[in-house]
Amino acid sequence: MKTLFTIFLVMAFLPFYAQISGEYNSTDDAAIRAISQSGRGVHGSSVLNHAVYGFSGSVSAVKGESLQGPGVEGIGTNDNGVYGESSKYSGVYGIAKGEYGAGVSGFSIDRIGTKGHSQANYGVLGESFANVGVYGHSSHSYGIRGYSTNEIGVYGTSDNSHGVYGTSESAPAIYGFSSANIGIYGWSNNHYGVTGVSKNSHGIYGATQSSSHFAFYASSPGSNNFGSASSRRWKENITTITRPLEMIEKMRGVYYDWDAEHGGKHDIGFIAEEVGEVIPEIVVYEDNGVDAIGLDYSKVTPLLVQAIKAVRAEYSALLQKQQEEIDALRAQLNAHHQGSLTSK
């Protein structure tokens, strides 16, 4: 009885930082272990801070395995749904073997759905055999955010669904940063490697300061490295581009140097505002409608195709005219030659 009273007295004066707290010095076992056949192994909810928080010096701080649901799931109202930090391995790591589960799933209303930080390995890593490897959703911040010093910021693999999938209403859907390797890596056997959906910003954004690498790099065994939605089924009011040579004449290809904020390297391309005066359909502007954000270089291709066809048509017409003039001269020479023979 005295022992129970002592425990109760100690607990009464402990600061209320955690509903469940465990500490274990051995690297062979877990500070807290919970196993459930049908529900959640560990369930934590929090209004202002971490729902589940784990710290470990050598193995996984928080580990979850599930045969049918998410391995690790976090929901945060004002903070991170799932947050993981590691010095040597994965900040957040999840494996889902069930048909409908996600390797790592995080949801947040005001902050980050899933966030991982690592100094030597993956910021966020998720693997799934049937659904999404890494999934994150946020209303006001990042759907998925991963940071790594030496490896991959966000890494996700899936056999039948998205490797990495993120949605956000007002910030980048997927954000990955790495100082030495890949910002975001997604792999899937039968679906999209990386999918990003955003209502008010970029679905997927890539940036690099390296002069020997690309902000976005695609490598496929076949020829389908890039693709945009295109089908006659989805298009109306189809008309051929007219006067393409006049439009090309108004455009200017330039050399330039980026400012320091955008890398400072020497480059070649267009000035978006100038292109917008000729092809406004391919230029995106700020809210003021004057300053450009960027342009879709790929959509200059249809104009170039029609311009080449126009040049070819002009060249063919010129050749035909020259051939007609040559034929007329030959006829005159033949007539003159025949007249000379007749006079003899």
CA torsion angle for 153, 155, 161, 162 (degrees, to 10)?
A: 10
CA atoms within 13 A on the CB side of 188: 20
User: Are 46 and 18 in contact, with CB atoms under 8 Å apart?
Assistant: no
Question: What pLDDT sits at residue 85?
Answer: 77
pLDDT band at 4 (very low <50, low <70, confident <90, very high): very low
Has residue 269 got a pLDDT over 90?
yes
| Residue 308 DSSP SS3 | helix
Average pLDDT across the chain, whole number: 80
Whole-model pTM over 0.75: no
Has residue 184 got a pLDDT over 50?
yes
H runs (alpha helix) in the chain = 2-13, 244-250, 272-276, 301-343
